[in-house]
């Protein structure tokens, strides 16, 4: 078993759940395995570099996974996998850390306070 295999599996599970169209397109094109491997390898490389730069292992792993494995949901970023002929390598995308995958509720307006 390769060192990045668990991360590859995590990415596959995440993509299948949150980006099912992209997952199916990659599967049909025969590129799913390659893209998962690339994403896991990039995440692992970033994690190692971050640890060497002084980040804690837990933080480094978390950030690397957010940046390379856990892509935004199709509802949040549908154009990522909209055109199979122009599908980018998901591992090359850097996502915003801590993206909330749930739909956000509108904020209540603050009531004016006493003057």
pLDDT at position 79 over 80: no
- Residue 53 falls inside a structural domain: yes
Does this model's pTM top 0.85? My answer is no
Q: Which domain holds residue 20?
A: 5-73
- Residue 61 falls inside a structural domain: yes
Output phi, psi for 97, to 5 deg.
-60, 140
- Residue 103 falls inside a structural domain: no
- Taking the C-alpha atoms of residue 41 and residue 64, their distance in angstroms, rounded to an integer, is 10
Provide the pLDDT for residue 80. 66
Provide the pLDDT for residue 22. 92
**Domain total of the chain:** 1
pLDDT at position 88 over 90: no
CB 12 within 8 A of CB 36: yes
Provide the pLDDT for residue 78. 77
pLDDT at position 36 over 90: yes
Mean pLDDT of the chain: 78
CB 81 within 8 A of CB 88: no
- Residue 15 falls inside a structural domain: yes
Cβ–Cβ contacts within 10 Å for residue 18, how many?
A: 17
Provide the pLDDT for residue 101. 43
- Taking the C-alpha atoms of residue 45 and residue 24, their distance in angstroms, rounded to an integer, is 27
- Residue 67 falls inside a structural domain: yes
pLDDT-derived band of residue 90, with 50, 70 and 90 as boundaries? low
- Residue 12 falls inside a structural domain: yes
The mean pLDDT of 52-77, rounded to a whole number, is: 93
């Amino acid at each position: 078993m390769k060192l990045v295999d668990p991360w590859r599996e995590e990415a596959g599970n995440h993509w299948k759940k949150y980006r099912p169209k992209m997952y199916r397109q990659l599967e049909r094109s025969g590129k799913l395995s390659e893209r998962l491997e690339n994403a896991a390898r990039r995440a692992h490389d970033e994690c190692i570099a971050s640890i060497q730069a002084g980040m804690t292992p837990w933080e480094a792993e978390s950030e690397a996974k957010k940046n390379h494995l856990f892509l935004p949901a199709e509802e949040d970023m549908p154009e990522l996998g909209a055109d199979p002929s122009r599908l980018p390598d998901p591992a090359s995308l850097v996502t915003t850390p801590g993206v909330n995958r749930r739909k956000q509720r509108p904020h209540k307006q603050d009531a004016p306070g006493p003057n």
